Every structure is written in structure tokens, then in C-alpha cells.
A and B are shown apart, each in its own frame.
Chain A
Amino acid sequence: MNDMLTSRERFGLLVIDEQPDRCNIMPLITSHAATVKGMKLRDYYTNGENMARAQIATVEKYEHDAISIFSEVGIIAEAMGSEFEYPENDLPILRTPVLEKKDIEEIKLPSPRADGRLPVYLEAIEYAYAALGDRIPILAYIPAPFTTAMMLSDPNKFLIQTIREPSRVESIVDRSLAAAIELCYHVIDAGGLPIIVDPLASSSVVSPKTYRQYALPSERKLVDFLHRYDLDIILHICGDTSPILDLLPQTRADLISIDQVNMQQAIDKLSSRVRIIGNYDTSRLAFSTPEDIEAEVRYMVEGALHAKKGYIAATGCEVPIKAPEKNVVAFIDTVKEVGWYWV
């Protein structure tokens, strides 16, 4: 069947609880776009126009339903002073966290038009919005405060401090929240729809108690800020989140994107309150065959398509940079085959 709506309309219907023509398809195609465009990764994440062009070329090729502006979760921390190295064909690598050299009080809030690669990011959003903003949502990934806080610190020390020095961690998280809000003003102005990503909040790393203590309140504050603009906000947490599924609606996010969680369990617990996004295994996308992917994606979509408040077919986390294109195509084509509502 052929699409009847634009991606923008399709997303618009979903968030007002109306069924669109078919299921939204938003695999997290981020830096994989550089592979599709045949671009060196460093050229992708250090130049906004390049990033946007690669994203546009990728959407034209795969015909999925979102542009994803993102390179890695360090961007806010970098703009606040953490130092990164830029390998030619790898994502940026954290070298010196700013808190190894300065105190929290000395860390300034970033100016998104000037600091680190935030200008690259904003340029990418603007470029993509000018080209396709009327047809497709331009998702702009915003590292959540708890994750940024770790990227400002030595990760090991930070994790220990979550238990030993709660007031210190709280003040780093607060500062990171202020920085995220600062960035969001500009992202919205440029035409981006903020999606909050909080990998550190994952139960693969921290306990539900730690989640409730730091990550949840700061996610909620960010969502509350964004709701003033009447935007529908996605929250993505990588890895295992089964122990905190019940807590996730408390963030007040409108859509929740899950990774290594049983989909039926997520539907049982969340689908009457939020739209669910997920959660095809990214390793499978990298290493499996189109035939297997088709069978698995079909099973996933058939089970989730009628989740009460709606469903977006996606990968559990980012599509691996070097995932074979035929595998990504298999994912998208399968959803386009089985994901119809208007029949």
C-alpha cells in the first residue's frame, strides 16, 4: 500500500491519539547516515551542513519518518568544557572531563551559538528544517542532565559519588539541566523537536533508587520546560529499563522509547499512559540477515501495533554505524508491509 500522509502528519496524528495511515517508522538512524552518504564520521559530526545533507540523503533513500540530528551524548558536556578527541572515522571520544580540572562553581553555562559543537548541531537542524521541515519531524537529541553530569566527570568517580556524595551529584545534575534548557531554546527556535536521551539512567548501570533520586526528577524538569512550547516529548533510555518501567510515566514524557525490554511487558505497563517506541535489537540489525530481520520485525510490529496510545516502530537504540543497508531496508520495508491502520 502507498503512504497517504507525510511523516509530519503521521506523527501529528499519533500524538493526538488518532490512528495515522500506518505506523510511524523511526529507527534511530543517527551517525549511520554518514555511512549511507559515504562520508567520514569526523566530517559528519564537525559540520552542520554535512550532517544535515547526510540525514536528508538517508531519509530519501530509506523513506523512514524522522530526521535525527545527533552524534553523541557528550555534546553539552563538551560545550561546558570537557575535552574530546575527534577520530577521523570514529565518534568523538571523551579525553578530559572538565570536573577533573575545575570545580562545579567554575563551570559556565554554554552559549549554544558559540561553544563546542553546539553551533554545528544548530546549523544541522536549521539546514534540515529548511529542506524538509514541512514534511518530516526533525528530531534533535538532547543528552539528559544525569548523562551530561557523568560526561562532565570521571565516569567511575561520578558513579561512586551517586552514593557517597549526593549533594555534589545533585548540583552537577542541576547545572547540566540548566545547560540542557539553554540548548533547547535554540533547538526549538531552529526547528528541532527535542528528544531526551539518558543512557546513564539505564538499569544496565544504575539502580531504580538512583534513577528515582537523580535521573527521574531532572528528566521531568526538562519535560516540563518543553511542555510550555506544547511539544510532544520523547524520552529514550538505552539498555535494560524493565526495573523502572513503572516510573517512566512520572517523567511526563509523551512518548517513551525502550531498548532491551520485553515489548509485551512494556505495553502492559505503559501503553494506556504513553506512546511506546521500540525496540528492535540493534546487534541483530548489524549482524543478521534480511530474511531473519523481516520475520522478527513482523513479529514485533504485529504485537505492538495496537498498543492503546499508539506505537512507533524503531530500533532499541542507534542503528549501528556500519549496519548493512539491506538490513535497514528490510526493517523499514517490513513495517511498511505490516504496519497499516487505514485498511
Chain B
Amino acid sequence: MIESIRKAVIEMDDEKAIELVSIALKEKTDPVDILEKGLISGMQEVATLFARKEYYVPEVLLCSEAFYAGFDIIKPLIGKSSQQSKTKVVLGVIEGDIHDIGKNIVKVMMEAGGYEVIDLGRDVPIAKFIEVVETEKPDILAISSLMTTTMVHMANIISELEQRKLRDTVKVIVGGAPVNEEFAARIKADGYSPDAPSAVKLVEKIIGG
């Protein structure tokens, strides 16, 4: 059963995911198993297919619909007991930039990785990032930028956090096509990763260590 749930995610079938998760619950399968070995494991396979260029953005978005369809049923049934669900990520695309396809993929993978994600959307003003860091107190601030013109604002967010003495309260990670390791280091971000699957691993590493 769990294997079929996993398959439903990979095969982009949200109706099937709902049906199978409901049946599994009726059969008293452990919701945590359904989540981890079914839904999340399915999304991990999707991440691999994406990285291998067998799946492209639309396919990943459809798989994530199937994932969420199942996840919404499971969510109320599992306590926030695991380490991961305590980790809060605030995610947004920088001011002046409307490229949000990559950010959406990062969001999906992070949620599938069990993190709580607050999505600020695209073209997010610097002040908004700062405000949300203050009010939501996330563990991770994840900023996406797809343009050389907008990526420089990332440095401004970090210096603004420093000025407001918020820098130590949150780990900042950055990504998007023109961003690289060197740039991340230069602006004193805590991490960078080139794609969504590795972004999840990055958060794991930062939080774990």
C-alpha cells in the first residue's frame, strides 16, 4: 500500500494519492509511515528525476499536488514531534524579481522534507523579509534571486539584519541561477545550494550542526 502511495506521487496522480492514503488509514497504517515511506519518499524520487532532467518544472509541480493532497489528510494526525517539523523556514524571492518557479520547487521540496515553510512569494521588499524574521522568528531565512541585478539586494538584507541585531537569530541561505558559493560567502550568508534537493540537505546540515 505504502509503495502505491509513493507511486501515486511519482506518477502525478493526486486523486489516487487521496484515495490510497484514506484506505491506508482505514487499514490502521501508521500515519508517520505513510508520510515518510510513502509521500516523502515519493518526492525524494521526484527530486532525483528532476535532477536527472527526466522531470521538468511542470511535472514536479504536479507531483507536489499529489504530495500535498495526501499530506493534507495526514497532517492533523501526526504531532509536531519530529525535529524537522519544529524547523521553520521563511522563503521568498527578492525585490524586483518575479522569477518564482525555482522558489516554488524549493518550497515543495522543503515541505516534503518535513519543514514548516512560510512563503512570502516573489518581488518581496527587503523590509518585509526583516519584518517576518522579527515576527515569525524562523530558524532559516531562504532567499531566491534569479538576476544579477536583484541578487545584490541579498547583501542588503543581511546587513539590515545585522543592524537590527537579528543576524544571530536566523541562518540565511541563498540560491537561484546566478548565485554561487563564492557570492554567498562574500555576502556572509550561512549557506548556498545549487538546486532544490540539495537545499533540503543544506538545511539539514545547518540545523543539525
Residue among B56, B58, B101, B148 making CB contact with A282, cutoff 8 Å: B148
With A159-B61, A160-B65, A210-B58 given, is the CB distance from A87 to B96 under 8 Å? Answer: yes
B100 (CB) vs chain A CBs: closest residue: A155
- Contact (Cβ within 8 A) B148 A287: yes
Q: Is B139 an interface residue (CB 8 A)?
A: no
Q: Is B32 an interface residue (CB 8 A)?
A: no
B178 (CB) vs chain A CBs: closest residue: A283
- Contact (Cβ within 8 A) A155 B148: no
Cα-based distance from A159 to B59 in the complex (angstroms): 9
Q: Mark B17-56, 1 if CB is under 8 A from A, else 0.
A: 0000000000000000000000000000000000001011
A239 (CB) vs chain B CBs: closest residue: B177
Q: Mark A264-304, 1 if CB is under 8 A from B, else 0.
A: 00000000000000000011001100000000000000000
- Contact (Cβ within 8 A) A286 B53: no
Q: Is B74 an interface residue (CB 8 A)?
A: no
Cα-based distance from A320 to B57 in the complex (angstroms): 25
- Contact (Cβ within 8 A) B96 A90: yes
Which B residues lie within 8 Å of A207 (CB)? 55-56, 58-59
Which B residues lie within 8 Å of A287 (CB)? 148
**Chain B, interface size: which category?**
20 to 34
Q: Is B12 an interface residue (CB 8 A)?
A: yes
Q: Mark A25-54, 1 if CB is under 8 A from B, else 0.
A: 000000000000000000000000000000
- Contact (Cβ within 8 A) B62 A283: no
Q: Is A206 an interface residue (CB 8 A)?
A: yes
- Contact (Cβ within 8 A) B58 A93: no
Q: Is A203 an interface residue (CB 8 A)?
A: yes
Q: Is B98 an interface residue (CB 8 A)?
A: yes
Sample 28 A-B pairs with CB under 8 A, ordered by A number: A87-B96, A90-B95, A90-B96, A93-B96, A94-B98, A156-B61, A159-B61, A160-B58, A160-B61, A160-B62, A162-B58, A163-B62, A164-B62, A204-B177, A205-B56, A205-B57, A206-B56, A206-B57, A207-B55, A207-B56, A210-B56, A210-B58, A243-B53, A282-B148, A286-B148, A286-B178, A320-B147, A320-B149
Going nearest first, the 4 A-B pairs with the smallest beta carbon separation are A286-B148, A207-B56, A90-B96, A159-B58
Binding site for A on B (CB under 8 A): 12, 53, 55-59, 61-62, 65, 95-96, 98, 100-101, 104, 123, 147-149, 177-178
17 new A-B contacts at CB < 8 Å, known A155-B100, A159-B57:
A90-B149, A159-B58, A159-B61, A205-B56, A205-B101, A206-B57, A207-B55, A207-B56, A207-B59, A243-B53, A282-B148, A283-B178, A286-B148, A287-B148, A320-B148, A321-B149, A323-B148
